[in-house]
Amino acid sequence: MAKRKQYPLRIDPDVWEAVQKWAADDMRSANGQVEFILRRALREAGRLPAPSGKKSDGASDESATQTSQKI
């Protein structure tokens, strides 16, 4: 597994509480949820290509294709 970058994050307490609740609902750690949110946002913005053959966040191939065509 690739080495992971550590980064201190300053975040509004209300936002952090919402992330923690969402993480608990999805059975993830808060850190895992933050990474999930960032990856999904990056992929939707066309900044991070989806891994071939995998759909880790439930995004459809069609939406990923449409996003990449907008660039």
Check residue 19 and give left, alpha or beta (phi > 0: left; psi -120 to 50: alpha). Answer: alpha
Asked if 43 and 66 count as a contact pair (C-beta separation under 8 A), the reply is: no
- pLDDT of 53: 63
- Three-class SS string for the chain? CCCCCCCCCCCCHHHHHHHHHHHHHCCCCHHHHHHHHHHHHHHHCCCCCCCCCCCCCCCCHHHHHHHHHCC
Joined tokens for residue 39: 């990856």
pTM of the model: 0.64
pLDDT value at residue 57: 52
pLDDT at 65: 45
> What's the pLDDT tens digit per position in 28-71?
999 999 999 999 999 999 998 767 765 555 544 444 444 444 44
